[in-house]
Amino acid sequence: MLRMTNQREVIIEELKRLNSHPTADELYEIVRKRLPHISLATVYRNLEQLSEAGIIKKLEYPGRQKRFDGNTSEHSHIKCIKCGRIADVAVKPRSDLKDMIDDAMGFKVLEAKIDFTGLCPECQRGMQLEGLRG
């Protein structure tokens, strides 16, 4: 059982307020406003411990810094391939798909993680503007 310290409570509160899926560095800058003496190493360590305990989610994508999510409900993410922005997808994986995999593979699916990649609206606009200039 993970003991809930004041530092952990503040980290969780700030993370749950955000929809941006921040990196540890980004969250550190936010938490530091409430806890000026907290160190970056403390934020990193607590984020790892909180994710291992299932209190928050750690999002890992190849070639990118880890990001963290205060929303632990089952949901998907979409990541912009240009700027790296990550957003929640409000569509849950279909339960019949889990059943089909259970039947076909003999596994008992406990969790489904379906993530998407694409271009966020801002990057799409930027590409359209570049096309107009080019």
CATH of the domain at 87: 3.30.1490.190
- The residue count of the chain comes to 134
In tens, the pLDDT along 17-35 reads: 998 899 999 999 999 999 9
Q: What is the mean pLDDT of residues 46-54?
A: 96
Tokens representing 126 are 């930027």
Q: What is the SS3 assignment for 32?
A: helix
User: Are 14 and 30 in contact, with CB atoms under 8 Å apart?
Assistant: yes
Name the residue among 23, 109, 35 with its Cα closest to residue 74: 109
- Residue 106's pLDDT is 85
Number of domains in the chain: 2
Question: If you average pLDDT over every residue of the chain, what do you get?
Answer: 89
Q: How many CB atoms lie within 10 A of CB 9?
A: 10
Q: Which residue has the higher pLDDT, 106 or 49?
A: 49
What range does the domain containing 12 cover? Answer: 1-72
Does the pTM surpass 0.85? The reply is: no
Q: What is the pLDDT of residues 81-101, one digit of tens each?
A: 998 889 998 776 666 787 888
Whether residues 40 and 101 share a domain: the answer is no
